[in-house]
Amino acid sequence: MDKRILAIFDCEESYAYRLMEFISEKLNHPFEIYVFTDRNKFFSCARIKDIECLLISETAYKQDVEAVKIPHIIILSESGENLNKDLHHINKYQSCENIFHEVMEYYTDQSGIVPGRLRTGTKKMRIIGIYTPVGRCLQTTFSLTLGQMLARHHKTLYLNFEIYSGFARMLGRNTDSDISDLMYYFSCAREKLSYRMESMVETVNGLDFIPPAEIHQNLTGVRGHQWLDLFQEIEQASEYEYMILDLSDGILDLWDVLRGCDCIYTITRQDSLAVAKMEQYEKALERLDYGDIAAKSKKWRLPIFKELPLRFEELTYGELAGYIKENIFPDLLEEDGKHQ
């Protein structure tokens, strides 16, 4: 499939190539990227190539650019004084990540048809479900640490289903969309899912994630089979090798989602209340014909760690990371070998 052309036109050469390099590292965008710092070279190329989308700095923009008839022109705003208010503007002086998100959101919304994306690799995406009926046993810390460590060598996506995750505060960043928006777009325009995802995906220490629902009630009514359909579509339209689901009782049809996982890790504790909760959980699974979930669940009783990193970006350092490397990774690789 031929990619469409995204042109970056900015006389500031270092900026233009830095933005190009960042976008080029993203796997699911629909573009072949051209960079121009010279006006004559831009027009020479535009006469023989069909440019689908143009990112042009405010200082480089002149009205003659519109004569090229490029479907989507986005101005990288510097002073905010560009006279053509009919064109879409993006603040030039922000992170490449934010610029890319805004470009993909705008392009996906404005394009009637985007080329479909198909997985190029043959390896199946492995879904790791992490769930426990026992509270306060480091499930999310464990999930994020495992995800970041996997992401060092494998393209990994992390999804959090806590009712109150606190992610925005912990990461010190606000996002415009979250997993509830992803499900909405999946329901309305499945063919654009991979590109819509690119406008939502955030990264922490190499691990991709879709921000958790800021208002969990927005997920009310989403059934288990809909989540599984979404996961399957993500597999088909991306290159992710692992998906980590940090699950909670707040998700509807939780057990159906767990059944759809390739492997399940259940963190527990040794106190009598934790043991009683696990026993009740496993009995309920058996009585309601979900015994296969218990069968493929691995229970892990984590040791007491003297100190845990306070920031998400530092989780791959310290005792928990060492424990995962020594104990979880051999188990995970053994399971992967069975399914190859």
Interstrand relation of 263-268 and 126-130 (parallel, antiparallel or unpaired): parallel
Q: Is the distance from CB of 225 to CB of 259 less than 8 angstroms?
A: no
The tens digit of pLDDT for each residue in 133-162 reads 998 899 999 999 999 999 999 999 999 999
Distance between CA atoms of residues 20 and 51, nearest Å: 15
In which element (H, E) is residue 52 found? strand 51-57
Angle at 142 between CA 270 and CA 299, to 5 degrees: 40
Could you read off the pLDDT of 215-247 as tens digits, one per residue?
Answer: 999 999 999 999 999 999 999 989 999 999 999
Min mean pLDDT across 71-80, 156-165, 254-263, 299-308 is at 71-80
Q: How many residues in the chain?
A: 340
Q: Do the beta carbons of residue 244 and residue 158 sit within 8 Å?
A: yes
Using alpha carbons only, give the angle 152, 324, 156 rounded to the nearest 5 degrees. Answer: 35
d(CA 89, CA 223): 38
Residue 101 carries which side chain, given as an amino acid letter? H
For 54-111, write each residue's pLDDT tens digit. Answer: 999 999 998 889 889 899 999 999 886 666 778 899 999 999 989 999 999 898 888 7
Q: What's the distance, CA 87 to chain centroid?
A: 29
CA 96, 99, 100: angle at the middle one, nearest 5? 85
The DSSP secondary structure of 187-238, one letter per residue, reads HH-GGGHHHHHHTT-EEETTEEEEPPPSSGGGGTT--HHHHHHHHHHHHHTS
Which pLDDT score is estimated for 27?
60
Instruction: Name the band, by pLDDT with cuts 50, 70 and 90, for residue 52.
Output: very high
| Dihedrals phi, psi of 112, to nearest 5 degrees | -65, -40
> Looking at residue 1, what is its pLDDT?
47
Residues in Cβ contact with 214 at an 8 Å cutoff, skipping those fewer than 6 apart: 168, 178, 180
- The count of other CB atoms within 10 Å of the CB of residue 193 is 22
Partnered with residue 251 across adjacent β-strands are none
Quick one: tokens of 4?
């469409």
Q: What is the mean pLDDT of residues 180-201?
A: 88
Matching residue, tokens 């072949």: 32
pTM, full prediction: 0.84
CB 274 within 8 A of CB 139: no
Average pLDDT, the chain: 91
What distance in Å separates the CA atoms of residue 203 and residue 101, rounded to the nearest whole number? 12
